[in-house]
């Protein structure tokens, strides 16, 4: 009698577990229902969902296991691709960019006169030195007698020129217009 009681209790627990698993599988099947556009790896057409919901427990269990294998395969594929791209970026060096040319400096003489031209949209300054007249962008902080140099950076059409003033007030470079 005791053996039958234990086996009946065990059978009842097994049936409850089976029912819970079947509910879990049914929820998975219902989540696969297509609403708008089907996305094949993750959705099923409505007729297939209806068929699986009415199918036997064994068929549902087979679907559940196949779905688990499919998801594992998708995740494994994503992981392999991610690892491949990571390793590729680590072992294949980036293209070597040439080092930009170092700026060159030319003497521009000593400052003789500074004139500020201020407009609504910009401020420009004309700096007269012993070697020539330079028009630069921005207000220049310098006095007469300060030394100036022309700084050139880049090559060809990317050449940038600036007037660098060694001032006691504020040493700075100003782009030449």
Going from N- to C-terminal start, the domains of the chain cover 2-91, 104-175
What six digits make up the tokens of 79?
Answer: 């992981």
The Cα–Cα gap between 76 and 120 comes to: 63
pLDDT at 40: 64
* CA dist 50 → 2, 61, 136, 165 (Å): 43, 15, 78, 82
According to DSSP, residue 40 is labeled: T
Calculate the alpha carbon distances from 171 to 51, 131, 168 in Å: 82, 19, 7
pLDDT tens-digit series, residues 97-130: 888 788 889 988 899 988 888 877 888 899 999 9
C-alpha dist (Å) from residue 53 to 16, 41, 62, 68, 107: 19, 19, 13, 17, 88
Provide the 10 A C-beta neighbour count for residue 147. Answer: 17
pTM above 0.95, yes or no: no
Token pair listed for 107: 């003497």
Averaged pLDDT for residues 14-28:
85
Would you state the pLDDT for residue 34? 60
- What is the spatial order of strands in the sheet that 104-118 belongs to? 133-137, 123-129, 104-118, 147-153, 160-166, 172-175
Q: What is the pLDDT of residues 125-155, one digit of tens each?
A: 999 999 989 999 888 888 888 899 999 988 7
Rg (CA), the chain: 40
**Mean pLDDT (the chain, rounded):** 84
Please report which residue ranges of 32-135 form alpha helices under DSSP H.
Answer: 46-54, 57-91
For the cut 90, the answer to whether the pLDDT of residue 80 exceeds it is yes
pLDDT of amino acid 4: 57
**59, pLDDT greater than 70:** yes
Instruction: Reply yes or no on whether the pLDDT at 82 is more than 70.
Output: yes
Q: Is the pLDDT of residue 95 over 70?
A: yes
Instruction: Name the pLDDT band for 1 (thresholds 50, 70, 90).
Output: very low
């Amino acid at each position: 009698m005791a053996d039958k009681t234990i086996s009946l209790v065990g059978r009842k627990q097994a049936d409850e577990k089976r029912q819970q698993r079947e509910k879990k599988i049914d929820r998975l099947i219902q989540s696969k229902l297509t609403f708008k556009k089907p996305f094949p790896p993750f959705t099923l057409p409505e007729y297939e969902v209806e068929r699986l919901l009415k199918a036997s427990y064994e068929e549902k269990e087979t679907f559940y296991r196949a779905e688990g294998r499919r998801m594992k395969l998708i995740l494994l594929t994503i992981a392999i691709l991610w690892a491949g791209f990571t390793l590729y970026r680590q072992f294949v060096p980036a293209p070597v960019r040439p080092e930009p040319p170092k700026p060159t400096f030319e003497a521009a003489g000593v400052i003789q006169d500074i004139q500020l031209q201020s407009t609504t949209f910009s401020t420009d300054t004309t700096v007269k030195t012993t070697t020539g007249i330079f028009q630069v962008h921005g207000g220049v902080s310098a006095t007469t007698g300060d030394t100036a140099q022309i700084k050139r950076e880049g090559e060809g059409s990317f050449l940038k020129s600036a007037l660098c003033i060694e001032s006691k007030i504020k040493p700075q470079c100003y782009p030449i217009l």
